[in-house]
A and B are shown apart, each in its own frame.
Chain A
């Protein structure tokens, strides 16, 4: 089974983020970029499938994403079989201030996957700049494949995979999907593994990052940011005072009033 995991770099959210002058994007020059945390989950899920045997995992990143080499080498260090840096063959294309828009990213990935088909595409379900998780379904639509999102576990099962989805209140269900398919992973079955720096450095010095230029179709649709806003401060901490007994009573009352505990 060939699993392709799209990887994307996003600004490290510990950085102070500043907007561009027109207010539609962020100043990317000074920022540190790290792997989108959901993509890290997707990679872990793919590697877990790989650990069970008979699976090839290919990490794919967009060449214009900052720090993408480091991210792809890290994927190799964690155990991915190959890593590919995708470039847009059309001249003059580069990422705008907001990075590659979701639709364009999906088109680029689709062009790659049409060229080199995968049995399974496992992507992070969302990203800080794709909060409603449009990438996996857009990609699936472009490829004409079935799609499952918000997965918390993917396991090989006959000709397809069993995907677990989790709902509020701890409910979950499993569904079977035939291959090929696109899956958006919310979280892997276990925390993403650690890649020791010496291993990452070894993969770097060994090279082995695949380069590929593809010609995507013109992206259609997708949201266009009109204005960026700093997070508004909402709510505040309320300090409970009194004796430990009083405080305990207040906490119980709060939990009860919010419906978090039931009964007497």
Chain B
């Protein structure tokens, strides 16, 4: 046939703007300019919003990440973690998009720059878009595009047919006046639909072009496009019909592609731009060592209090629901879901700064929560309800599973700080804080009695303020004051004493380290406790500190250095493991079948997962792991000051959920390495009436049992 298609098929290339006349080209360029203007305006609007935020101090993090984490960020490794199929699909979508985008850039360079510049200077139009380059180009685009298409179809089937619970948008804690998140689901489908439509039209277009060109030999390098062409041909479409259909479809495809560009910064697709930056800027150490309140302010009250990173966090969320799924508060029926909090803040911040997002809104008949109008609204209290903020155990699981580097916990604490400043808190928490302020412990017992549990030992435990010791034992509130735990503390002291470990304590000079006080949001009290402890420790003489409580360990190891006090800090399980490995403690094998619960502040926060397991191995115990173990452990529900609050809002306590998990293993002992865990789980086994099947034991008790001669098993305080 006559016409452009027949002519170019003699050369190894394909025409750009195939079948589109000069008027059509002008129209296309005009539309492209409009689409890009809309895109730029949207991105600029977002960037302007982030610039409201404070400096985040992430420069060094980003510089380091560009060197060390660029590869893992680019490969989308964080999406794959714990979710292989989705990660692989995302990988192909990500790179499919990048290749398609790169291809467009190459075509722009060839069509709009090289050809025009050469015409201007050399008098004839040059192009590099032919021959081998064309073949490589077309092969790459065709194959990655097809993988992209398959991946999008997989994602659509996953979302539409398999419907994993985490992709449901049901809130944790439904607001009294009702709510609807239908628009959010529509927004997801619009995104998927856009990609699907663009890809499908691309292949139909390629097929029609190849058929219109009478299938030249080199089109085998567009294998999937060629298949489509063969299919058209097989169904009786003639090349002439193909050419006519091609023109119509070309405009359809072009319109979709330009519309997608315009739509991108207003939609879920924005994550393509925000999340790369967010992943490079993310820093989990900000959760281990919380940032200070904004200068001169008690906590977060307005948008300008957030850092730009925290504002970016809000837009980075793709609603994947991983945090929602792992959150112990959500699982327990509390009104908190990390995802909901991020989405609520995002909606409110977006609405308060001009409101540009498309299909990303929750609707509420009573205009509460994220729908609250902008002025006079409390971010902590109205946008995110106080009960939701108080539900967080700061277990950090949300931060760790987030594939896009959102740091929920520091934001929650900043919001809690403004609640504390207003005095909005439950009576039990208030009492605990007052106790900590007056007596240095949350029990409200006399601080002078902190060392009383040591009196029942047969020998004097050295006072590290009076003599040098190798190890200073920072005992912590629970191990010192809780009568059920004092036995374990005495047994640990005895083991160490009998082994000849040189250790001491600082008696009443020790106060609560304030790890959880800080996470409650009572910054002033944390500072007061920390200043006291740092002063007390400066009076003591020791080489190293070991702690009973993982929360204490976190404060001493991660929080105190920011206050100018750095110590070598270990957990008692590390010390015991070392003594067992060295053979210093002589044990007989126990042969128990046990499971072990990793404390959040030991495992997730501080990566200490091996020491307790080494102990169990050394004791000859068979360790049966719970599905959630190691750094993926499930919180007992006590952290972040939750242990000082009531559980009225919970339907099932996290500790009870955890005990159910352990019961499914058929083990007899539930081993813990944290005093708070000991109390939480000892209560939980009784609540779920499993205390006849499962015994909660501190790992110290197992060591003591293994030391004891078989004839005297009664020596060991059997259990809690």
- Residues on A lying within 8 angstroms of B by beta carbon are 12, 14-16, 30, 32, 34, 191, 193-201
Contact = CB atoms under 8 A, between A and B. Distances in A.
B423 interface: yes
B119 interface: no
B439 A14 contact: yes
B523 interface: yes
Interface in B458-493: none
A12 B524 contact: no
A201 B522 CA distance: 13
B286 interface: no
A16 B444 CA distance: 13
Most chain A CB inside 10 Å of its own CB: which residue of B438, B444, B525, B527: B438
A32 B439 contact: yes
B524 A197 contact: yes
Contacts of A15: 446, 448
A197 B446 contact: no
A14 B420 contact: no
Contacts of A196: 298, 420-421, 423, 522-525
Interface string B528-539: 100000000000
22 contacts: A12-B438, A14-B444, A15-B448, A32-B446, A193-B423, A194-B420, A194-B423, A194-B434, A195-B423, A196-B420, A196-B421, A196-B524, A196-B525, A197-B523, A197-B524, A197-B528, A198-B298, A198-B421, A198-B524, A198-B527, A199-B298, A201-B528
A126 to B, nearest CB: 20
A195 B438 CA distance: 13
Given A14-B439, A196-B524, 13 more contacts: A12-B446, A14-B444, A15-B448, A16-B449, A30-B448, A32-B447, A191-B427, A196-B420, A196-B522, A197-B522, A197-B524, A197-B525, A201-B524
B715 to A, nearest CB: 28
Given A194-B420, A198-B524, A12 B430 contact: no
Contacts of B421: 196, 198-199
A16 B452 CA distance: 12
Given A194-B425, A196-B298, A14 B524 contact: no
Contacts of A16: 446, 448-449
B269 interface: no
B445 interface: yes
Contacts of B444: 14
B245 to A, nearest CB: 71
B433 interface: yes
Interface of B: 298, 420-421, 423, 425, 427, 430, 433-434, 437-439, 444-449, 522-525, 527-528
B427 A14 contact: no
Nearest to A191: B427
A195 B425 CA distance: 11
B510 to A, nearest CB: 16
Contact of B438 (A30, A34, A193, A199): A34
A191 B437 CA distance: 18
Contacts of B524: 196-201
B423 A198 contact: no
Contacts of B425: 194
Contacts of A201: 524, 528
A34 B431 CA distance: 13
Contacts of A194: 420, 423, 425, 430, 433-434
A12 to B, nearest CB: 6
A192 to B, nearest CB: 9
A198 B417 CA distance: 11
Contacts of B449: 16
B436 to A, nearest CB: 9
Central interface residue in A12, A14, A195, by most chain B CB within 10 Å: A14
B523 A198 contact: yes
Nearest to B445: A14
Nearest to A79: B423
Given A196-B522, A200-B524, A14 B423 contact: no
A194 B522 CA distance: 11
Nearest to B420: A196
B524 to A, nearest CB: 3
Contact of A197 (B423, B427, B437, B447): B437
A195 B445 CA distance: 21
6 A-B pairs closest in CB distance: A198-B524, A197-B524, A194-B423, A197-B525, A193-B423, A15-B446
A148 B368 CA distance: 44
A31 B445 CA distance: 13
B519 to A, nearest CB: 15
A136 B438 CA distance: 27
Nearest to A16: B446
Contacts of A14: 439, 444-446
B374 to A, nearest CB: 26
A27 to B, nearest CB: 13
